Every structure is written in structure tokens, then in C-alpha cells.
Amino acid sequence: MTDPSRTPGRGARSNPANRYAAARRESVDDGWPADAEPAPPLRTQLGIDASRTIISRNQSPDIPFDRSVNPYRGCEHGCIYCYARPTHAYLGLSPGLDFESRLFYKPDAAHQLAAELGAPGYRPATLVLGANTDPYQPVERRLGVTRAILQVLAESRHPVAITTKAALVLRDLDLLVPMAEQRLAAVQVSLTTLDGQLARRLEPRAASPQRRLEVIRTLSEAGVPVGVLVSPVIPGLTDDHLERVLEAAAEAGATRAGSLLIRLPLELAELFQDWLAAHYPGRAAKVLGLIRDCRGGRLNDPRFGTRFTGSGPVAALLERRFELAARRLGLTRQDAGWDLDAGRFRPPRPPGSQLDLFERD
């Protein structure tokens, strides 16, 4: 087991075995001081994701898109609430510290994407970049997988919607601005709270709340449609920030807004409870009680139709507060460039093909 005091800058406080593991580990006090032998710092490790396909498809009635691309598995941002944490169990790893320190990237992502977009019968529709983990997490600065994917989408005039909480997205303005001019790109910035101290604990390696507001402002001024995703809303912890986040985002230039209630699937429930007990012990019982009020008495409700919004009076009140504030601030507009155009799509051509002799508008 990992000593949380030796893992500064990480979200999870432990590295519990995943749900498929044949054995479990428990920490034992052997009488020696915890700092008798200082542990080495927990460094990020990179591995290669050898998936044969790059586009993930879904048929969920709760999700407004049917395809997405995730350049990475795991996320160095370390957000303790991340619903994607349990997916690391499929790799035989822990949804705890492994999820934020043992990452996998797809070096052939751009090549795979070009092949799938050029396959006979492919029909274009808005592709979401970053539905599971952040495409602009810190390792992207060095690896550039997301940028390579975006270049393929730009060249093929394929519409893309990006979700991120990283300032690194501004690196790709040279691609996003021309795409936005053709109604091919939009960005959604995730912003949970304006409280810097809380954000540092919730999302230890993500951009600060003020930096994310600057990202919204810069994208807006550059002509890229930008929205804010107030997610997750954690009742008893972040819900009192809801209106202020929306107001700040609107002032910075956001034209749309979304909001999702916290989800605690599988191993995430234990990880979040441990985090709450360590950082906010006085609020822990209240927060968990409010979450249960929104989840039919449980910490998680996986049913379609309620898993993102919750149920009961507490969830209804949160939804109503969001709707009223978003409407008042003009964050429910259906125009403002969010209707992306799939009609401009042209399938990628293999390098050196005969059609490369001709230009196409």
C-alpha cells in the first residue's frame, strides 16, 4: 500500500487492487516510523496502447455523440472524482495511483484514425476528443498524440468537439481557428470550482481555475466556439460554486454550458470516500449523505437516464439552479458555432495517390 504523505501532487491516496485481482493487500503497522525509509517519488510511467482501432463508438441514450477518440489511457491530472478510473482495472492495474501514474499512449493514433476515416462506408459526424481522459494532459506536451490526431481531422475537414481542463489546448490554435471558421471545431472547458485550494486537492495536476478561465477567454477571442462544463457537481462540496462558475465562464466568453452530477462507479466510491476523510473529514458524512440522496440511497446509480443527473429533490434542485443560471447568462444558445458541419468531410487519401495531383475545395 502507498503512504499518501509520500505522494504529493497526486489525487488518490492509495493504490488498492482492482476488482479483478486474485489477491488483496492491506497495510500493517510494524512499529517503525513512517518516514524511517523515505520512499522514492512516484514518477509517471509510459506504456504503449496497442489497440487496433482508434474510434470508440457508443449507443448510450445519455450521451449526445456516438463516437470519440481517446489518445491516452489513464490521466496524469489525477482528478479524484474521475469516472474513468475503474477502466484501469481492464489493464490489470489499480484505479488509484496507477491510473494517474501509469499511462498508456497510442503512437499510431493519427495513422489509425486516417485509415478509419478513409474506410469505405464511413459516415462523418462530430467526433469527441477526450471523452474518457483529457487529451491535453501533461504528457501530451512531449508526445503530441492529440495534435497529430487534430491534424488528420483538419486535413479531412472532419468536425471535432474537444473536452479539456488543460491550458495546453491553446498550443493548437493554429489548427482550431481555421477549423472553427469552417464550423468544424468547438471546445468545452471543464471547470469544477473557482476555489483554488479545493481545485488543487480535487484535480492536483490540472490547470488552475483562473487559468482555465483565461483559456475560455483566449479561445473566444480567437473565434473558437467555447463552452463550460461544470462537472462534476459534488453536493455539499462544490455545489455552492455553481452559479459563480457559470457567471465567470460567461464573462470570459463561453456561449454554452453543461453540468453533470458526480458519479462514483465501482472502485471510485472507495477512493473518493478515502479522499474525503483525509481532506474534509468534517464534511464527509454530509457530502456522502447528499450523494446518496441523489442516487436512491446508494453512492452510485448506473441506470441510463439518471446516471448523469441523479434523482430525488436534491438532484432536482441542482438541475433547476443550473438551468436558471445558464438561461440568465445566455449559456443556452443553440447558435454561436456549435452546429458543426459534417458536410465538408473529405476522406483522407493515402500519400502519393493520384488524386493528390488535384486540389479540392
SS3 322: helix
**Contact at 8 Å (CB) between 172 and 213?**
no
| 5 within some domain | no
Span 300-330, pLDDT tens digits: 999 888 888 999 999 999 999 999 999 999 9
Q: What's the whole-model pTM score?
A: 0.91
- Cα 47 to the chain's mean position, in Å? 20
Angle in degrees, 0-180, between the axes of helices 209-222 and 173-181, rounded to the nearest 10: 50
What pLDDT does 74 receive?
Answer: 97
| 136 within some domain | yes
| 19 within some domain | no
What pLDDT does 218 receive?
Answer: 98
| 13 within some domain | no
Neighbours of 298 (CB within 10 A): 12
What pLDDT does 5 receive?
Answer: 46
What pLDDT does 338 receive?
Answer: 80
| 341 within some domain | no
Q: Which of 240, 250, 229, 256 is nearest to 338 (CA)?
A: 256
Q: Total domain count for the chain? A: 1
| 27 within some domain | no
What pLDDT does 21 receive?
Answer: 85
Low pLDDT (below 50) residues in the chain: 1-5, 356-360
Span 142-160, pLDDT tens digits: 999 999 999 999 999 999 9
| 4 within some domain | no
What pLDDT does 188 receive?
Answer: 97
| 259 within some domain | yes
> How far apart, in Å, are the Cα atoms of 321 and each of 166, 300, 302?
27, 22, 23
CATH code for the domain of 158: 3.20.20.70
Cell numbers describing residue 7: 505522494
Host domain of residue 48: 42-335
What CA–CA distance (Å, rounded) separates 234 from 180? 33
